[in-house]
């Protein structure tokens, strides 16, 4: 049941931002949308065609194992409708398996495309819940969907979330070494238990971070970005982590964290400060430890995933 509005097929273009999850102490419950966008242009069809431009063009599958298609099919199944196919053109800018929310962007994009073609049977809250349940944690999908800096937690099939009204005195430098690190791998090195002192440390720092982001208090922010739940256990997966961290601090970053599950390192920089110098220092430090890296200076965005519709004349016999 494709969306035929007034006898016309309505194509859809979906834009989904990159996201950085955790922000240091907010493991699995804090994330921020960044101004780097993937596009999915979808046309209802009776077969499957996938065109990929940009990141992942050589590696992402072009069949029904593609995450976007898997998510579209999941929505059709939930709606009790048969999925016949789709023509997709993806323009990818978010690096894959890099800690900048590529899977969340694919997931949210697929769910929104399917919901559109199904004539919107699912509410935004339902789509967010489906996305969080599929990803397993909300800290990428919530900011990808909603935009901004988001606190989110899934409990009893309900996603509790809040957008933080963060001050506009920050920008972010994301430096991505050229080796992928699947989230699954980076979660696999984490233990099942944490010491009480470490739990208290993270509760305190995540709370300070929330206050620092909303008040723009940079000295507090500088002290807030520490973590004891995941970064230390993951460092060995990212050769050069300590050197890159130190280089970012020397170059003037307020703080630097592992972006999502890594391997991207995310430096938080005061807006107007020389972000380019921080980026270069981090790239150089990665290079000195044998990894080529790409730096992106990414302001936060308060805009989340959004959908543009475009009507076309219905071809004769189209479903």
Ligand X SMILES: Nc1ncnc2c1ncn2[C@@H]1O[C@H](COP(=O)(O)OP(=O)(O)OP(=O)(O)O)[C@@H](O)[C@H]1O
Which residues here bind ligand X, judged by CB under 6 A? 21, 38, 56, 60, 66-68, 90, 92, 96-104, 106, 140, 182-183, 260-261
Q: Helices in the chain by DSSP H: which ranges? A: 67-79, 102-117, 124-135, 141-146, 183-188, 196-215, 218-224, 231-234, 241-250, 275-288
Q: Which residue is nearest to ligand X (CB)?
A: 260
152-211 positions binding ligand HSE, by CB under 6 A: 183, 186-187
* Three-state DSSP string of 252-306: CCCEEEECCCCCCEEEEEECCCCHHHHHHHHHHHHHHCCCCEEEEEECECCCCCE
From the list ligand HSE, ligand X, none, pick the one residue 187 interacts with, judged by a Cβ distance below 5 to 8 Å according to partner type: ligand HSE
Please check if 98 is assigned to a binding site. yes
From the list ligand HSE, ligand X, none, pick the one residue 96 interacts with, judged by a Cβ distance below 5 to 8 Å according to partner type: ligand X
Q: Which is nearer to ligand X, 9 or 295 (CB)?
A: 295
From the list ligand HSE, ligand X, none, pick the one residue 137 interacts with, judged by a Cβ distance below 5 to 8 Å according to partner type: ligand HSE
Q: Smallest gap, in angstroms, from Cβ of residue 21 to ligand HSE?
A: 4
Q: Smallest gap, in angstroms, from Cβ of residue 250 to ligand X?
A: 26
From the list ligand HSE, ligand X, none, pick the one residue 139 interacts with, judged by a Cβ distance below 5 to 8 Å according to partner type: ligand HSE
Q: Sort residue 300 into left (φ over 0), alpha (ψ -120 to 50) or beta.
A: beta
Of 31, 34, 8, nearest to 132 by C-alpha is: 31
Please check if 104 is assigned to a binding site. yes
Please check if 13 is assigned to a binding site. no
241-300 positions binding ligand HSE, by CB under 6 A: 260-261
Contact present, 267 and 176 (Cβ < 8 Å): no
Contact present, 173 and 282 (Cβ < 8 Å): yes
Q: Which is nearer to ligand HSE, 44 or 110 (CB)?
A: 110
The number of beta carbons lying within 10 Å of the beta carbon of residue 130 is 21
Q: Which is nearer to ligand X, 181 or 278 (CB)?
A: 181
- Inter-axis angle of helices 102-117 and 67-79, to 10 degrees? 40
Q: Which is nearer to ligand HSE, 115 or 259 (CB)?
A: 259
Please check if 275 is assigned to a binding site. no
Exposed e or buried b per residue across 292-319, where buried means at least 16 C-beta atoms within 10 angstroms of its C-beta: ebebbbbebbbebbebeeeeeebeeeee
Residue numbering of the annotated binding site for ATP: 95-105
Binding site for ligand HSE (CB under 6 A): 21-22, 27-28, 137, 139-140, 183, 186-187, 230, 260-261
Residue numbering of the annotated binding site: 95-105
């Amino acid at each position: 049941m494709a969306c035929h509005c007034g006898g016309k097929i309505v194509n859809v273009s979906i834009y989904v931002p990159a996201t950085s999850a955790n922000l240091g102490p907010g493991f699995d419950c804090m994330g921020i949308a960044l101004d780097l966008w993937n596009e999915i242009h979808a046309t209802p069809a009776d077969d499957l065609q996938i065109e990929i431009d940009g990141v992942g063009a050589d590696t992402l599958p072009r069949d029904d194992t593609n995450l976007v298609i898997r998510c579209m099919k999941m929505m059709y199944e939930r709606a009790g409708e048969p999925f016949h196919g789709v023509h997709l053109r993806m323009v990818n800018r978010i690096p894959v398996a890099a800690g900048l929310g590529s899977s969340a962007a694919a997931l949210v994009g697929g769910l929104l495309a399917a919901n559109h073609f199904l004539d919107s049977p699912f509410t935004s809250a339902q789509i967010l819940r489906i996305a969080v349940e599929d990803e397993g944690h909300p800290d990428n999908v919530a900011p990808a969907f909603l935009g901004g800096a988001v606190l989110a937690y899934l409990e009893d099939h309900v996603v509790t979330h809040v957008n933080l009204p963060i001050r506009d005195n920050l920008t972010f430098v994301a430096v991505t070494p050229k080796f992928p690190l699947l989230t699954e791998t980076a979660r696999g090195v984490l233990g099942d238990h944490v010491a009480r002192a470490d739990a208290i440390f993270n509760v305190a720092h995540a709370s300070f971070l929330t206050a620092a982001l909303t008040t723009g208090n940079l000295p507090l922010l500088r002290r807030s970005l520490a973590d004891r739940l995941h970064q230390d256990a993951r460092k060995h997966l990212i050769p050069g982590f300590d050197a890159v961290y130190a280089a970012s601090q020397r170059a003037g970053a307020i703080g630097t964290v592992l972006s999502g599950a890594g391997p991207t390192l995310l430096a938080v920089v005061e807006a107007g400060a020389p972000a380019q110098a921080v980026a270069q220092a981090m790239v150089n430090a990665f290079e000195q430890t044998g990894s080529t890296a790409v730096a992106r200076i990414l302001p936060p965005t308060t805009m989340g995933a959004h959908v543009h519709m475009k009507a076309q004349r219905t071809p004769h016999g189209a479903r």
